[in-house]
Amino acid sequence: MKVEYGKGELIQLNPRQAGAPNGRKTKVMLVFPPDWYPSEPYLSLPSLTCVLRAAGHDVVQKDVNLEMYDWYFSEDFLCRLVLKRVPQQLDRLRKLSRLRSLTEAEQGLQLALAGLTRGRMAELTEKAERAKRIVRTPEFYQADKLEWAINTFRQVTDTISLVYAPARICMPPMETDLSYKVFVSSEVLDAIEDTQVNVYRDVFEHILKPAIVTERPDVIGISIVLQQQIFSTMTFCKLIKEQFPNIHVTIGGNTVTRLRDVLPKTPNLFALFDSAVIYEGETAFLQLIEAVGAGRDLAGIPNLMYRDASGIHTSSLSCAEDMAALPAPDFDGLPLEKYFVPDRILPYLATRGCYWGRCEFCDHGEGYTAGYRTKKIDQIIEEIRGLKAKYRTRYFHFTDESYPPALFRKLTRRLVETNMDIVWTTHMRFEKSLSDEAVWQDARTSGCKFLHYGYESGSERVLKLMDKATTTEAIQRSLKLAADVGIWNHVMGFFGFPGETREDAYASMRFLEENKDLVHSIGFGTFDLSKHTPVAKNPEKFGVTPYINPEWDLALDYYFTVKDGLSVEEAERVFEEFERNHYPGWDLKIFIREYVFLYVARFGTNKLPALQFRPPEVGAGDLSGVGA
């Protein structure tokens, strides 16, 4: 056993032992909760499944998020559940009007609800089903039809929102809002019980509960990768423990790891589940289910928080995985044909952690106790080959935090040498070491189609403040080399890093504008002071004063003021100015990253004017306009 040290705790690398204890097989249900865009499986479930099945356990993978959106856009949901809730919502508004005058928004809601007739819902159902067919078939590659389908999904979720108001159900999902604060545990608990806004109670009854009744698992594990998923997850936990009290419920994922310091201090929230896996989950979860199956005490399991009659406990042991010992992800049991894409995309992870790991604004390293690790290139190639054959797909999303330059060279060369015939996308830093044409020719030949870059800023001074260790010269060179071989360059950045001035922000804008022919899409925002970032841990170094509200006990970022540079509010105004005035070619009518990747892969070029935004025309959104 190899032992390393990190974060002040003992780290065991690869202490797993395959085989169920005493031959006992434990049945596990792994759940991916809403809300996430249903375009590809999230890797957390398949990564656990492969380890649990190799150890002899029975695993059911349940992508409730995917099944929820499939249900939303169906006759059962729209013509049964939504219509059933219309009179209930109108009755709520009538009762409210007896207590006070309705607001203008509430009066508008009444009028909109009156229009939700059975005929209207039947028409909307037909459009919703048509939209699903478009995104799952080759019609997807007709841009006008895809745009119509995306707009239809928005129209349907807007209609669903009417009966769950004041909640907003949205597509894209990240905009969904239950009208409660997800960063306040007391409000999360209130949201769970609010039958008016909490759509996840209905999702549980229709999707998750029947699966539990059928499968009868011993353990249910729920993966939380986005803080917004806390609402659905805690709703599911509460209802599972109420209706199936003998099932052990555990939660895990990056969000749980980020909340590891506050979960033991929120006993009312922790009472909804039995345990929580923090950091990497394969070894911890395997040991957990085997302990539960054998009726053993949970003390001594690494990466685990759990509760018993004496309180909430956190293990002092941390375990990090040996990448070479991990099998390829196992997607068996997931309904791959139901994802909202015409060609299935599989995620694959060759590394853990970030090889650079020094960016001052980043907290991605919080998900791991050990440092950067990678599988060997031979293992990577064989696993990709196996996944391609088993699941009959050429489309891969390499979900690494940031693909290391040396491994990028090896990967592209070996994919060419083996004639793998895949297409793929991944995430990159701008590196001077990738400035030769040969590696980019290999990237093109190997099937690289779409790259997400951490640009952050075009100001040399700000890049140094961030410890990005790159230059605008290296950025421009990388963009040109990639663009010249047909790769789509998507750059991500933000305004308002502590110390950044308005002049720095304008330099960042100018750099992008001057290289607009090399940048195909952008994702911009403003700096968030996340609690686990180097900036938050060393605020004096950056001239930052964080404001921590003790009532916001689940907060993962803080409001702050700065000694020098743009304030939070000034950064917002700079961002708004950039949104108004940037190069219009970056405004895409089809903006979902997997969709753009599939288009670049299909048409073999990063010149895709059909994806660029155009003002809506008269009659847009009418099904007859896109043909039968």
How do residues 28-43 score in pLDDT, each as one tens digit?
999 999 999 999 999 9
How many Cβ atoms sit within 10 Å of the Cβ of residue 215?
14
**CB 319 within 8 Å of CB 12:** yes
Long-range contacts of 384-392 (CB under 8 A, 24+ apart): 384/348, 384/415, 384/420, 384/422, 385/418, 385/420, 386/328, 387/328, 387/329, 387/331, 387/346, 387/348, 388/420, 388/422, 391/331, 391/336, 391/344, 391/346, 392/344
Q: What is the dihedral of CA 496, 502, 503, 505, to 10 degrees?
A: 40
How many Cβ atoms sit within 10 Å of the Cβ of residue 436?
11
- On average, the pLDDT of the chain sits at 93
C-alpha–C-alpha distance, residues 611 and 411, integer Å: 30
Does the structural domain 343-607 have CATH classification 3.80.30.20?
Answer: yes
On the question of pLDDT at 619 being above 70, the answer is no
- Cβ density class 254-280: b for 16+ within 10 Å, e for less: bbbbbbbeebbebeebbebbbbbbbbb
Residue 183 one-letter amino acid: F
The number of helix segments (H) and strand segments (E) in the chain equals 23, 21
C-alpha–C-alpha distance, residues 427 and 147, integer Å: 26
Q: Which of 16-20, 225-229, 621-625 has the lowest mean pLDDT?
A: 621-625
Q: Quick one: what percent of the chain has pLDDT higher than 70?
A: 94
Cα–Cα nearest to 205, from 351, 76, 350: 76
Q: How confident is the model at residue 23 (pLDDT cuts 50, 70, 90)?
A: low
* pLDDT (0 to 100) of residue 22: 53
Half-sphere exposure of 209 (CA within 13 A, CB side): 16
Q: Which of 1-10, 50-59, 77-86, 117-126 has the lowest mean pLDDT?
A: 1-10
Q: Quick one: what percent of the chain has pLDDT higher than 90?
A: 89
* pLDDT (0 to 100) of residue 183: 97
The SS3 call for residue 366 is helix
On the question of pLDDT at 3 being above 60, the answer is no
* pLDDT (0 to 100) of residue 623: 29
On the question of pLDDT at 8 being above 80, the answer is no
On the question of pLDDT at 169 being above 70, the answer is yes
* pLDDT (0 to 100) of residue 614: 56
On the question of pLDDT at 625 being above 70, the answer is no
Q: What is the dihedral of CA 227, 231, 233, 234, to 10 degrees?
A: 120
What pLDDT digit, counting tens, does each position of 566-595 carry? 999 999 999 999 999 999 999 999 889 999
Residue 388 burial class via C-beta count within 10 angstroms: exposed 0-12, middle 13-18, buried 19 and up: middle
- Phi and psi at 11, nearest 5°, equal -115, 125
Q: What is the dihedral of CA 381, 387, 392, 396, to 10 degrees?
A: -70
pTM for the predicted model, two decimal places: 0.93
DSSP state of 189: H
On the question of pLDDT at 45 being above 70, the answer is yes
Concatenated DSSP letters for 116-136?
A: --HHHHHHHHHHHHHHHHHHH
- For the chain, the domains span 2-68+197-323, 69-180, 343-607
What pLDDT digit, counting tens, does each position of 444-474 carry? 999 999 999 999 999 999 999 999 999 999 9
Q: Which fold has domain 2-68+197-323?
A: Rossmann fold (3.40.50)
Residue 181 one-letter amino acid: K
DSSP state of 407: H
